[in-house]
Amino acid sequence: MAEQATNPIARDKSTPWLSLKMREAMEAWLFLGPTLAGFLIFFAGPLVAVVGYSLTEWNLLSQQSTYVGLKNYAHALGNNPDFWHVARNSAIFALGLVPANMALALALALALSRPFPGVIFFRTVFFAPVVTSAAAWAIVWKFLLQGEAGFVNQMLAYVGIDGPNWLREPDWAMVAVILTRVIKMVGLNMILYIAALQAIPRDYEAAARLEGANSWQIFTGITWPLLGPTTLVIMVITTIGSFKVFDHIYLMTAGGPENGTLVLAFYIYEQGFKFFDIGYASALAMIMFVIVMALTLVQLALRRRDT
């Protein structure tokens, strides 16, 4: 076969009219066919379309679509208190979720990266919410966080704390959706950190111990710097995930109370599928696209530097 491949005029018996090289190319396109066709129809096409939609004023109720240039973008990014309120909420959500998630993930990974009796049990427990549907997770926590009669507040009452009505007060609702989302997703980052920790040679630590370093010095001097690339990648994917959060918010608070947890993904859904303001919703989707693309490019650049 190697001999045939280097001979440009070699031909397969079944297709004598094709050179082997052309035959291989043809086969490759056939293999790629379904994926590429689906990609063009359900992804590339819609992506171009959403750019087009974002430049029109198109209200489904009036059934009319007119070209308005960048008006939808101006409507969002200009002096629109709704949009900036949503942007602020999304930023708070990300700034709360990402550090909490990463710190807890790292702490758990440090505790669970080496074998001890029960290590598998704990890893299994901390990862379990990741495989659970966001819908189920949100339903159960919404139940646990009910006002007076909710389990969390009943437990807090036992120790003398008068718990807030978690999902009915804007600030507490934000705290609640962030914390429950952290518990839901932290297992994933924990696993990535465990893999990175296990890739660090044990000799480094042993050598440092011989030099008389304590555990904290080993962490700050060896472990943390070596985890750097992993930390950056985890930071980016967790941030992207925080901008995409939809089902969790939809089911726990529906963006409320008083729009206190109205974040970007939910706002897009609301404008597009509840108020049918297709042009504006598409412009919002483009803004989300730009944010996520920028973060992804950062991640790809970091991975490349890393390898």
Q: Taking CB under 8 A as the criterion, which residues in 243-282 touch another protein?
A: 243-244, 246-247, 250-251, 265, 268-269, 272-273, 278, 281-282
Size, binding site for another protein by CB under 8 A: 92
Contact code string over 138-157 relative to another protein, x by CB under 8 A: -xxxxxx-x--x-x--xx--
Scan for tokens 């710190």, then name that residue: 103
Residues 51-90 within binding reach of another protein (CB under 8 A): 53
CA 197 to CA 230: how far, in whole Å?
10
Give the start-end residues of each E strand in 148-307.
none
Residue number, 51 or 213, with CB nearest to another protein: 51
Work out whether 47 is an interface residue with another protein (CB under 8 A).
Answer: yes
Cβ proximity to another protein, 86 vs 281, nearer residue: 281
Near another protein by CB under 8 A: residue from 7, 25, 70, 78: 25
Per-residue contact string for residues 282-301; x = within reach of another protein by CB under 8 A: x--xx-xx--xx--xx----
93 binds another protein (CB under 8 A): no
- Window contacting another protein (CB under 8 A); options: 25-33, 62-70, 80-88, 206-214: 25-33
Number of H helices, E strands in the chain: 16, 4
178's CB contacts (< 8 A; 6+ apart) are: 93, 96, 97, 100
And the tokens for 203?
Answer: 């000799």
Between residues 1 and 79, which has the closer beta carbon with respect to another protein? 1
In the structure encoding, which two tokens stand for residue 204, read together?
């480094």
C-alpha to C-alpha distance for 80 and 210, rounded to whole angstroms? 61
Of positions 177, 191, 197, 252, contacts another protein by CB under 8 A: 191
Q: What are phi and psi of 64, to 5 degrees?
A: -120, 145
The minimum distance between CB 69 and another protein, in angstroms, equals: 19
Please check whether residue 130 is in contact with residue 188, taking contact to mean a CB–CB distance below 8 angstroms: yes
Is residue 206 within the footprint of another protein (CB under 8 A)? no
CA dihedral (131, 133, 138, 144) positive or negative: negative
